[in-house]
Structure 1
Amino acid sequence: MTKIDEQVNEYYNKLLKRNAGEPEFHQAVAEVLESLKIVLEKDPHYNDYGLIQRLCEPERQIIFRVPWVSDNNNVHVARGFRVQFNSALGPYKGGLRFHQSVNLGIIKFLGFEQIFKNSLTGLPIGGGKGGSDFNPKGRSEGEIMRFCQSFMTELNRHIGEQVDVPAGDIGVGGREIGYLFGQYRRLNNRHESGVLTGKGLTWGGSLVRTEATGYGVVYFVEEMMKEHGDSLSGAKVIVSGSGNVAIYAIQKAQELGATVVGFSDSSGWVETPNGVDVQLLREVKEVRRARVADYVSAATGATFHADGSIWSLKADVALPCATQNELNGEHAQTLAGNGVRYVAEGANMPSTPEAIEVFRSHGIHFAPGKASNAGGVATSALEMQQNASRDSWTFDYTDSRLNEIMSNIFRRTADTAAEYDHDGDYVVGANIAGFKKVADAMLAQGII
């Protein structure tokens, strides 16, 4: 064991003790630190001035009470979070997640990943994340509005277009962003468009923002496949999930000539050997807010499975787009056995460490979420640019900017992996490329 290994391991053990009970955060940090050992051996100055320790400690962690009243006049109390992790490159930027599983550890894991993802975009945005353990499923419009208003009543004092710019995530779509923005405007008596992204198109939103994460992961896969002499045209693709990211990943993959052979939600998965009717899927999930079984009842040639795993399908490409740690080592072995050659994460950390090791051992080209799903935050930053200039760009222009950003992220990731003698390892490349830009800014700005 080298001196660098000992130093990093010692720090990681201290982090485990200081952040007990936060396994997702531990997992995210461990993956990055493993890559940083490579950097520290070659560029030891990054080990100066407590840089690694400062990078892994949020600048600010905010936890607050969110009381709200249901339609039957019962008072409920949820917990709200905003972790402002690192602002060396710009204002904190990262989504809000409303889901019953949300806790501080999950928000810290998401915020930590956001630092490197935002750095990789090349845009001037720092890393942060937030949310609540409020579950919007099954709640009325009035209940969701009242919750969002209560949440923003506290959050508003911690955000601003030059401070912290939240966006949506799981459970927070255009409806919730609208209620949040309305309350922010009411409390602050000004129309500060740049304080939230994912807004409606008539009041400061950006075209392509809805599609951006799904489109972006496919643009990344397209570049990754080109690098290895392959193409999406004629490929079979598995997409887990059926939310915003999954729907638009399906749409873009099929536009580029692929056949999406399956998608899923928490109730089960759907086998679609002849491809997905995207218009029907959008109607089921976005309009009716129904389950994937409802898609099958209206579609031709689709089969619903309540049991088993979507990862049992045969395909060339797998895009996990649902949630963290959904794809484990056993699933990865199945994918490898069924001929999958490319995996790109559309969700945040959907592949377990065991799954990633299986991909490596089988020569499967794997793109981590901090690189491949950066399209959403990249287009959020483009929305901020439009807000700052009081401008509105066309769909085609914004889409071309997104495609360019994702191509640049792939190139930066691939080139960095090669520079550090890990050619083709996109996990190492993404971690190091994202880290170095933030680290250089932190060193330049002093010990703060």
Structure 2
Amino acid sequence: MPWLAAAPAARRWAAGLAALALAACASQPPQGPQQQPQAQPAPTPVPPAPQAAAPANGFAAWLAAFRAEARAAGIGEATLAAALDPAQYLPRVVELDRAQPEFTRAVWDYLDTAVSDARVARGQEQLARVRPEADAAAARYGVPAEVLGAVWGMESNYGANVGDTPTVDALATLAFDGRRADWARRELLAALRIIDNRDIDRAHMIGSWAGAMGQTQFMPSTFLGHAVDADGDGRRDIWGSMADVMASTASFLARSGWQAGQPWGVEVRLPPGFDVARADAGVRQDAAAWAAEGVQSASGAALPPLPDAQLLLPAGARGPAFLAGPNFRALLRYNNSTSYALGVGLLAQRLAGGEGVQAAWPRDLVPLTRSQVRTLQQALKARGFDPGEPDGVAGAATRRALRDWQRSAGLPADGFPTADLLQRLQQP
């Protein structure tokens, strides 16, 4: 899901730190039965369940004030009536928005599902079904069809799960709730513009609880900036038109820096004694310079000519290593999560008939809980290494502080938090 016009929200360390433009997809790698996506008409929304009364300070009063704001911004009266008259406060949206899961998911567990054999097989089948639309988008924007298919698979399980929450209701609830009010108001106004432009009507504008819409989960502001009418019917329909879905997704990635003709990255092997602290987003050089340091592709082939490439160790020094170029960072702009971007890249690789990850994941390691990460941050701070505010999320500052401490202790400085490191940090 494209992370545009964002307000901050935490994802877990293994998935990276998410700067929120879409707080959640309609689905993470899904569970349960799969359905075939329908190209036309747009999905029929599930009627909302009866809602509890809004807080005493008045959702209806807030909605009236917002209506005046939207009217002043140029939204037509017919749209205001159609979109806002039926608007409901959704307590479940607030519950999900405020939830902070204690337990984290290891990157290998995430990828086991995201790039499972079943998902690859289904993706190849579904991509074949929409090959003309995917190839047309690839030719127009320079983003391979398999990458578009992988985003489609990650965001909605190839259209099987686009969400069933009315977008207007979800965003109105978030804006009224106040935690992310400014962001949600902007997104709600963008949603009204989409309705006003007649790209979609209110009833069919459905998506995730966080307001992400369609088969590749655009936020309304992202839709306004990047959605494409590729089938020429006068509407940008990312719910039902596969031509529009593929072209809109490719448009976003192209404008996010995707470079045609380059891979997203490649799995690599590191030479003995390699300084793993160089696996840092701030350390970038072309593939030839990495090769000069002894970095080799896992397959034994020559490294692709990746410019401005960074080394990734998503599971620390004991796990697989990857060299990631500008296209990996374009995927991060879709969703600022290392696990997500790896999932898209590896799924695209498999959809194209390539191999999966070759090196073994350190499956004996158990990810730290949020509370444990907070304790680790506090211990780093007590030792004079600044991880930022202890918040239970192992972001860039925490990993940098952990690397600095590891280096001072004579340990491989991979910045990967483990129970063993936490125990060492807590020792006198």
TM-score where L is the length of structure 1 = 0.25
Give the structure, 1 or 2, with the largest relative contact order (CA under 8 Å, sep 6 or more): 2
* Structure with greater proportional strand content: 1
* Structure with greater proportional helix content: 1
- Structure with higher Rg: it is 2
